[in-house]
Structure 1
Amino acid sequence: MSYKVAEQDFVVRESTDDAKLLGKSEPESFELKKGEYICIPHVVHQSDGRYFRDPDRFDPRRFWVHDSTDVASGEKHRDISVEYKTMKVWGGGKQMCKGKPFAEREVVLFAAAIISAWEIEPVDGKWEHPGRIPTAGTVVPKKDVRVRMWKREGW
């Protein structure tokens, strides 16, 4: 097993109340008792067409909101903000991740640094979606994405 398959993204939460899912007979119905844990892969929701138009297409802008309005002041902003909508990548309620603001900024900063400092192009000259391996967590490409990278002038 490769490292990238072993280290998949998923959320583990403790059930704070008894809960039933869908109310269907076995095996589609599950009862969770208080104190039990459930693990739901993010890809289950992210690939659901009821929540995302064309869910199998890679779209890094699916959560962008243009020209937002500040809820507190009502002031309009001509910018881009991120709205997760039905996604709960950081948990919610009592389970909300305390490091969410830091983690978001860290990821954006890292990606911006790479994109700013490096030219990146596919080895074979064209960008092609590599497909994905069905996993219990983050989407894993079926094949390697081979790229050439070189530092931009001035870096």
Structure 2
Amino acid sequence: MENSSRDYSHINGWGIDADPKNDPTYPMKKRTNEEHRGYSWQRPTQQAETVEVLHSNERPNLTAVFGTTVPPSGLSGMLRRYAFKHTENEYAHWLPLLLADRINVVEGIIEDFKNGKVPNIFAEKGMKADLQHDRAGLIKKAVIGGLLIGGVVAFMAGKNSNKSRKLDY
């Protein structure tokens, strides 16, 4: 194999890190090889666990700091608990988490109605920006959504009319 130097100066940005003074890691490289001994730091004080916190089964303990604003609850929480029983390299971990996110949206809307608040789905979904910047995409989404809802209603209505016909006998 031929090892020849070529001129790459015509490529924008080529060799940008060749000058060590222009290297963003330059100050770190000037350590006295301390990185070979490893970092020695004090672990931060463990945050108190006041709510259920799910963490990977590949971790023996909780991280020092974690979020507590939305503990798992309801059907989405059950799915999340199931997901965290599996290792992170399995579909049985990630797919339930994706489904739990979608279910959690519906649970949030139901919770809003329970608390007497009507959610502004138009604003929360960013439809004002869609209307302004991607009108065709918004119309397409609305048509597809309407067709899906109409199909479900028609299916359910057909199912109910079949039941009533069976009762007439």
- Fold match, TM over 0.5? no
TM-score by length of 2: 0.21
More strand by share: 1
Larger gyration radius, structure 1 or structure 2: 2
Name the structure, 1 or 2, with higher relative contact order (CA <8 Å, separation 6+). 1
TM-score by length of 1: 0.22
